C-alpha cells in the first residue's frame, strides 16, 4: 500500500528529473530500498528527511507537504513480527486490536516503564 510519503517522494524525484537510482545515490540508500519506501513496503529511515532537504532544492510549500506526508506515513508504520516469539506477538496483537480496557493498558505501560528504568 503506497503511503503519502511514498507519493510525495516519487513526485519530488520525478519533478527533479531523477531516476530512482540517481535519487537513491543522493540519499545514500539502494534503489531497491528507495522503491520499497515509495511503495510503502519499508519504513522511512529517521535521517531520510534531512538527506532529501540537503540534496533537493524544495520550496517551502514542498517541504511542508513532505513533512505532513512523513507524519502521516509514520502513523502507519510497518513492523515485521516474523521472528518474534509467540508471547511477544500475542501482546502486540492484543494491544493493536484495541479491545483492552484502559486499566489493562495502564498496567502494560507501567511494566514497560519499569523495564526501561532497568536499562
99 and 63 in a common domain: no
pLDDT of residue 82: 78
pLDDT of residue 119: 55
* Domain encompassing residue 104: 86-118
**pTM as predicted:** 0.63
69 and 19 in a common domain: yes
**Does the residue 113 lie in any domain?**
yes
* 42 contacts 78 by C-beta, under 8 angstroms: yes
Segment 18-32, tens digit of pLDDT: 999 999 999 999 999
The mean pLDDT of 43-56, rounded to a whole number, is 91
101 and 70 in a common domain: no
109 and 63 in a common domain: no
Alpha-carbon span 118 to 95, nearest angstrom = 23
The mean pLDDT of 78-107, rounded to a whole number, is 83
90 and 66 in a common domain: no
43 and 17 in a common domain: yes
Query: Structural domain tally of the chain?
Result: 2
Q: How many CB atoms lie within 10 A of CB 116?
A: 8
**Does the residue 10 lie in any domain?**
yes
Q: In CATH, what number is assigned to the domain containing residue 32? A: 1.10.260.40
Segment 1-20, tens digit of pLDDT: 688 899 999 999 999 999 99
**Does the residue 102 lie in any domain?**
yes
Q: Helix 4-15 to helix 31-38 angle, to the nearest 10 degrees? A: 130
Q: What is the 3-state secondary structure (H, E, C) of 19-83?
A: CHHHHHHHHCCCHHHHHHHHCCCCCCCCCHHHHHHHHCCCCHHHHHHHHHHHHHHHCCCCCCCCC
**Does the residue 79 lie in any domain?**
no
62: three-class secondary structure by DSSP: helix
Q: Output the CA torsion 2→35→67→95 (10° steps).
A: 50
15 and 70 in a common domain: yes
Instruction: Dig out the grid coordinates for 45 from the structure.
Output: 529511515
pLDDT of residue 77: 61
Amino acid at each position: 500500500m503506497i503511503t503519502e510519503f511514498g507519493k510525495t517522494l516519487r513526485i519530488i524525484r520525478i519533478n527533479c528529473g531523477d531516476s530512482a537510482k540517481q535519487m537513491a545515490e543522493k540519499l545514500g540508500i539502494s534503489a531497491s530500498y528507495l522503491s520499497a519506501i515509495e511503495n510503502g513496503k519499508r519504513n522511512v529511515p529517521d535521517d531520510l528527511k534531512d538527506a532529501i532537504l540537503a540534496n533537493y532544492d524544495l520550496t517551502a510549500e514542498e517541504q511542508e507537504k513532505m513533512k505532513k506526508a512523513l507524519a502521516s506515513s509514520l502513523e502507519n508504520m510497518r513492523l515485521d513480527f516474523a521472528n518474534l516469539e509467540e508471547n511477544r506477538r500475542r501482546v502486540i496483537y492484543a494491544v493493536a486490536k484495541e479491545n483492552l480496557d484502559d486499566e489493562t493498558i495502564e498496567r502494560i505501560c507501567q511494566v514497560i516503564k519499569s523495564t526501561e528504568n532497568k536499562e
